[in-house]
Amino acid sequence: MLNRTADSVARATPEPLARKVRGISDKGLAWLFISPTILLLLAINIFPLFWAIYLSFTNYRANRPNEVVKNVGLANYKRILGDQDVWIAMQTTAHFVFWTILLQTLIGFTLAWLIDRKFRGHAFWTTIILVPMMLSPAVVGNFWRFLYEPQIGLFAYAISFVSGIPPTDVQMLSNVSLAPWSIIIVDTWMWTPYVMLICLAGLRSIPEYLYEAAEVDRASNWRQFWSITLPMALPFIMLAVLFRGIENFKMFDMVTLLTGGGPGSTTEVASITLKRQAFESWRTGYSSAFAIILFVAVFGLANIYVKALNKVKQR
């Protein structure tokens, strides 16, 4: 049937075009198909990357088009690596990435494990749990800002109800100690379902016969979990950690919407510092160097992580 269709298509192709197509090798055809994508990638990814690398060695400022652009060598890199504010922003980012990943992995895996029990109504609860992840970060940021509002926010009232502290004293976004946690809570609320989904895929991929064999060997539930469930789901968990790690390393929208980097600079993550340098201070050369440093850091860490992931998968 398939051959007959192919034959009829071949017959229907005009002879001059057929001749031209016949003249192209398989490799040529492959290049023909992928070249638009490659060109697009070159234009919007690779060229800007190399352009940013070039700019990082200059004193270029996008708001001074008439100024002579000078090569400053490694000065921008030296300045960034010696800038205390940059290191504080990196620490803030690391704190945010660590806690969001830890919480999302723990809660996400637990939820996946529970959902995998296939209890009555599990499909309904899966849908409910996935809702936060389907919302736009702009919407989430805005409504959590209202939830955190000390005078009218439900969050403040809930904390007040549990702890007895007056709601107006529960100032999540204004308090230096609480503000970073307010962002971690929102990010965890929003993205735990994503981690859960990946973990669920992992759990569902574990063959049933392994558990049956374990049952025959009279292995306890705990033993089954440590010896079968966790090792088999580990590559999936690690994949979720990789995705969330990369995403959270460049977190920008939620922080901007909730705290704008404040109070003071306590929630100023690296991407906000970068944006301020690039589009508020217009230190284009400097911010390009900063972007390259961040890129190398994420790329390097991700590479090491992927190697570890591959080792786990091969076990």
* Residue ranges in contact with another protein by CB under 8 A: 62-66, 85, 148-151, 168-169, 171, 173-174, 176, 256, 259-266, 276, 279-283
Q: How far is the CB of 196 from another protein (least distance, A)?
A: 32
Distances, alpha carbon 9 to alpha carbons 1, 22, 166, 169, 268, in Å: 12, 14, 76, 74, 60
Q: How far is the CB of 200 from another protein (least distance, A)?
A: 38
Q: 3-class SS at 178?
A: coil
* Residue with smaller CB distance to another protein, 70 or 313: 70
* Residue with smaller CB distance to another protein, 207 or 260: 260
Q: How far is the CB of 66 from another protein (least distance, A)?
A: 6
Q: How far is the CB of 138 from another protein (least distance, A)?
A: 13
Residue 59 backbone zone (phi > 0: left; psi -120 to 50: alpha; other: beta)? alpha
Q: How far is the CB of 72 from another protein (least distance, A)?
A: 11
* Residue with smaller CB distance to another protein, 179 or 241: 179
* Residue with smaller CB distance to another protein, 13 or 266: 266
* Residue with smaller CB distance to another protein, 151 or 314: 151
Q: How far is the CB of 160 from another protein (least distance, A)?
A: 12
- Separation between Cα atoms, residue 75 and residue 288, nearest integer Å: 12
Phi and psi, residue 58, nearest 5°: -125, 175
* Residue with smaller CB distance to another protein, 113 or 252: 252
DSSP letters along 42-70, please?
Answer: IIIIIHHHHHHHHHTTB---TT-TTSPP-
Burial 224-260 (b: 16+ CB within 10 A, else e): beeebbeeebebbbbbbbbebbeebbbbeebbbbbbe
Among residues 232, 244, 246, the alpha carbon closest in space to that of 200 is found at 232
Contact 254, 186 (CB under 8 A): yes
